[in-house]
Structure 1
């Protein structure tokens, strides 16, 4: 006969040792009940262990809640007609809610706490420029070089921890950026000037941080953006095929009708459904976007004259490949391949079956993202 672990007596066997060992049989030869382990039904004598007496009886009552650190995780309940007991788990301890607990606590501006309640991290916004020719896009991927991967690896070297960076947009492979907002959180020992200098010292040569500003603690570069701006360059002269230009523009190499381009751009201004200018199979809640600006301008060359055209577009949101599909369709209108009224018809369609192919990625630039002033830390001080 084995001793009872809670009380070191030889009158019974420990419940937990029985559960672990999976024993079944007689505890002793004096007529004590059998122990059945398996479905968590244990047959015990109420007098088997003195320490179990307060919890056992004809009908066990629910134990009063005890402090979290000392409350037993299980209790035994008994039936009136038998000495078979059931092991049931108790719910987690929750202290009673006190509606006046936070009544007299002082309030402080967001992120500003005195003494030991001071925030241990700071959130920053970096405006990043990069040449997207050697990247497979902004977003980190399983294979290929990405801007997010390069940026996060530098933050890991600076802080010693894995830091996640959030971009204001998810540019595709070959797309460039002149002012992509990137938000991240680092330990509070970092200042704006030190962080700006350290990022530019460690980032690769095709990435450069224009500025770093401290933001509110709950700031997110993509979710907090009010709008975004892009431009797209198209080379219309023979020199567009130069290796110093074709990396950063669509080397079309032929003139386009600027008037037809301007008429097509005026159609898409305002709020419309751009399902015809999005990639099939992309999960979207809806395809409506509000275009705040859409215009074409002739781009003057350094030698005088016009060497291409540039499309400016600003909206509250953009769909995947939306700008490139708009440019591809409007260039076909400017070349006379499509009628000027095709833009009205495409905005009424629900798929991209008749939309022109998207323009090449190398002519697209992410220009900037706009944010409310309340997100900037300096404006709250």
Structure 2
């Protein structure tokens, strides 16, 4: 009887402990539930073109969305941002990011972006992934194209190059390619004769300089004169006298077909393709003095040259420009026409010698010394022939 009573007591004690534990757990649960209910807040999330209300005990919008079950990606655009503190009735907008692949110089990068255009998405990925994509880099899709899911974008890093063409300097950026491809990309068309400073198959490198020289050709017919020749025939008048025209000459004409080559508008070469004389020149025939002696007063005077001059006379002075004393027969001359010291025969005056000069004696002028002022006055100024011996 005593054993049964002890067993029953032990059983009651055990049952009481389970009850106590259960009650304790229930109390803790009630406390937690009370705390949760007190802390819980409901916010409205606009996502996928609908509004979803979620109740959360999270402190920040980012945390609330993370555990919301809405499948929000880290790249999705959240407004207000994820660090915003949760408040009851807060309105949250989520713009879904789209998956895309960027191939940068052959290297693929797969990510997501919530930006609306290709250009904005590339800048977004460049900033987040450290791709250093620049505005000058070449993209196979227009940067203003709206972004769509699973878009594949090819980007090639560009390098600076410099092109001189048609009088313009073009400083631009292009992805590495051949010179020929670069010119096509820039809309520069080469003519068949144009010259390029780099080979067309040369692969561009940073700061390469390309100069395009425009080469053009033009064929012209050019007519030029063929100067006539002067043919002199000896004549019976003094050497030194002006030639006398017997038959006037006429220039001929030569016609050439010429190919002219220009580089950037400047003539660099002329090639004669064909030529012919269309008019033969006619020589001019002149009579040229051949007489070298004359007879005066029964005396033969030999000379090397005869010239027509204007002759004046003077009688003053005592010493000539050459230092000799003045006397009849002294002739003042222009040394550029008649060398000083030359022996002369002067028509109407007689023998003389070029020993003096004068300020007014220039060109075909001479001044003859007379022994008196009356003789000089009587001579006056006249045209005569001077024979230089």
- Report the TM-score when normalising by structure 2: 0.22
Which has the bigger relative contact order, CA under 8 A and spacing at least 6?
1
More strand by share: 2
- Report the TM-score when normalising by structure 1: 0.22
- The structure having more radius of gyration, on CA atoms, is 2
More helix by share: 1
